[in-house]
Every structure is written in C-alpha cells, then in structure tokens.
Amino acid sequence: MSELNGYRWHEDDYEKEKKQGLIVKSEKSYYTENYVKPKKGMHIHTAIVAIIAVVIGGLVFGTTFTFLYPMIYTQETQTHHSLKPDAESDFLDQQPAQNPSQQQASENNEDRIDESVSTSTEDKKADLSEQDYRASLVTDNPEGIHLTVPQIAKKVGPAVVGIVSTRQSRGFWGEVYETEGSGSGILISSDGFVVTNNHVIEGATEINVILNDAHMPNVDNDNTDKNRFNAKVIGADPQTDLAVLKIEATGFPYAKLGDSSLLEVGEMAVAIGNPLGQEFAGSVTLGVISALNRTIRVEEREFTLIQTDAAINPGNSGGPLVNSRGEVIGINTIKMAVRGVEGMGFAIPINEAKPIISDLQQYGYVKGRPFIGIVGRDITESIARQYSWPLGIYVIQVAPFSGAEIAGISPRDIITKFNNISVETIAELNEEKEKLNVGDVVQVEIYREGEYKTIQLKLTEER
C-alpha cells in the first residue's frame, strides 16, 4: 500500500499472497474468549445462612401478600368502575366528521390511485423484457424522494460488485507467484459497463467481476462460479484514478449517477462496498458529507474530493458514495491512514468522473489531454547539492513517438523551465502543462552535462 502525506491508496486491498509457503489469509478475524468459572466447595455455615434467608424472605412476602394486596385490589376496582364503559367505547370509536361528498371523493381517489399504480406497473412490464424490467427497478426514483438507509441499500446494493484482480510478481530468486487484490465497482448500465478505481485493476493480468447472488441476470457464463464474470478493461486513467470495465452480458441492475454540485455539508452519505474482500461483500456504512472540494495530493497527483465520515475501508475502493435519493454522488477512493485518526474518507465527485467515464467508454482514453511524454522524478535540494545539479525534474524515461522524443529530450536530462516558467517538481510541470492544449508548441529549458539548452516541444494527445 503506497503512502504519501498520511494518505493511502487501497491498492493492496486485502491482498492474499499465493506464493508457495506464504499464504496471507485470515480464516477468522473475530476475537473470542472462553471463561471457565472456578468450582468452590459448599461449607456448612453457608448452607445455614441460606436456609435462614429463605425463611425470613418467605415470611416477609407472605405478610405483604396477606395484608396489602386486598387494599390495593379494592382501590383499583373502585377506580375502574368510576369510568363509564359506554363513554369510553364511544370515545375510542369516534371518528372525524366527514360529509357524504367528501367520503365519496375519497373513495374515488383511492380507486384511481390503485388503478394508476396497477396500470403503470403492467405497462412497464409489457414494454420491457423481464431482465430490463428487473434492471430498471434499481434506478427508478423519478421524483427524487428521500429514502431510508434500508431503501438505499435495496436500491443501489444490487449494482455494487466485487472486483478481484490477479497480478504476477517475481520473488527474490526469480520465482513467479500470484497475488489477488479485491476492490469494489459500480454497474452503470444494463449491458455490463462497470466503473472502479484505476488502482484496483492497475497491473492486473486477470480481472473478474463478482455479482450479488440475489441479483444475477439469466445469462450464459463460462465460469464455474456463476456469480463471477471475466472482465475486460475498456479504459483506465491514472490521473483521475478511474477505470471502466466491461462484462459480456445484459440485463444487469445498474445505479443512477447523481449531481455532486448539489451536495451540501452535513447531508446524509452512504458508502457501499466490499471491505476486506468478498467475505464482507455489500457492506453498508452511514455518515454525512463532512466537507467539499478537499484538495489532496497523492503520488504527485492532486485531487479535489468529497470528504465523508462514512467508513471507507480497504476493499471499498471503487464503490459508490450515495445520497439520500439513492443516487451515486461519488466514487470512494482514499482514506486518511494515520494512527489515531478515524472517519476521514474521500470520494471522487461524480460530476468530475462523468466526462472521464464517457471518454473511457467511447475511446479507451481521455481525449484532448496534452501529453509531454516523460517519466521523471523531483530533484530535491539535498540531491542537487550532492551532484551540483539545478532543481528540476530528472528525466528517467521518454515515451516513443511523444513530443518529448521528437524534441530531442533524453533520459538523464533535467527540465528546469517549461513554457518560460521555472519548474522544480513534477506537480509544477503538470500544472503548467494543463493550462495548454494538444498541439501547442512550448519552449523547454533542459540541463544536460553541465549546460543549459532550450528546445521547442509540441504537445501531443495523451492516450
């Protein structure tokens, strides 16, 4: 699990190493304790004291029952008889007055409501196939009615899936072993498009989506486990930590995406996901919107996120944050992982995610994003002093056919200025780059082998 400034990705969400001889798995994660009561012998004096206590207690109880109960019973009888049975019955049976015309109108309205509900339901079933009708039940709340937490869980829960990603790693001696990471995802269409976090599936050699037992569509599935579907990555975007997957089937229940711009601090928020893997799939936690527009920096990337105190644990990554109308208003992604700090989780606002999701679905990448084409690292002041280098970005790798390669940037170059602005970190470089468009030509100052050089670089489109 990577960590920076106290924030962590859940990128090793409940990982289970399958390396031979090293299986990290907890069969039982509950604390139990057996308490054996010590045996003691019965002494004679203890028995005598017990007998005396029983005799005295019996005398006290008998006296109370003999003398006090008749008095209490007599008072209760007199009190009850002071009420008139007929008046009491009339009072309980009394109803608000209603004239005949109001009564007839009420009956007609009830008949119309019953007929309307029955007709709309039957029409809907007739217009949709059985699978599509079942899928539509998840998103139906056209009037935006505020729901209870159980209603939210029933409405959105079927669209929340588990995502199991398999990665291959090499050990010290070169042996290959597999690890499994578990996260969450959201079905956003009946034909099997799933949204999750990029870090949940990044580097995976195999991805499986696991559905809820109670909401399985009637489709062919080659897997032995009929809940598990092989998934294909349609597109992934590390910059926003979003990814779109596809499972080949139809008739899935799906969630409705809401409007995060309407959120207010203090309103209800519900997180649904699979903390600690599939053992706790579909867990629901309740909280509030703690804050909006929180700026969080993780791994040289800056995010503007929703803060919530709804519990977000490892395995919740990629799951939905839901409002009181049962609409997805955020995608859970980060939690504050500092000892002594609880209730600080963060989600990607759905309004920021929507255009990214749309581009990933259609093109497999985010269109129109300028791209330099380097992999680099910051040169700190201590490194600069040690090697007599300037502050800037040390180039580690150059992407083939990128603007950087065409401009002549090479590994071990140090970028010190971009578009005539001094840059000392990758974050500053990205900030300047995002002010520009694909196709723009900028001046880049580099430091190479003790000399400064200025080159022209044309920004290409990131894919």
Spatial separation of the C-alpha atoms in residues 404 and 455, rounded to whole Å: 10
Spatial separation of the C-alpha atoms in residues 163 and 231, rounded to whole Å: 9
- Annotated catalytic, 29? no
Q: 314 and 10 in contact (C-beta within 8 Å)? A: yes
Q: 445 and 456 in contact (C-beta within 8 Å)? A: no
Using alpha carbons, select from 305, 316, 308, 304 the residue that is nearest to residue 289. 308
Interior angle at CA 105, CA 101 and CA 110, nearest 5: 150
Bridge-based pairing of strands 283-298 and 328-336 is: unpaired
- Annotated catalytic, 116? no
The tokens describing 407, both together, are 């401009």
Catalytic residue of the set 317, 324, 402, 413: 317
Catalytic residue of the set 13, 190, 237, 241: 241
Residue labelled with tokens 């009394």: 94
- Annotated catalytic, 199? yes
Q: How many CB atoms within 10 Å of residue 369?
A: 18
Helix (H) or strand (E) holding 71: helix 44-81
Q: 334 and 7 in contact (C-beta within 8 Å)? A: yes
What Rg, from alpha-carbon coordinates, does the chain have? 33
Using alpha carbons, select from 21, 19, 1 the residue that is nearest to residue 10. 1
Catalytic residue of the set 199, 215, 290, 402: 199
Using alpha carbons, select from 2, 58, 8 the residue that is nearest to residue 296. 8
Active site residues: 199, 241, 317
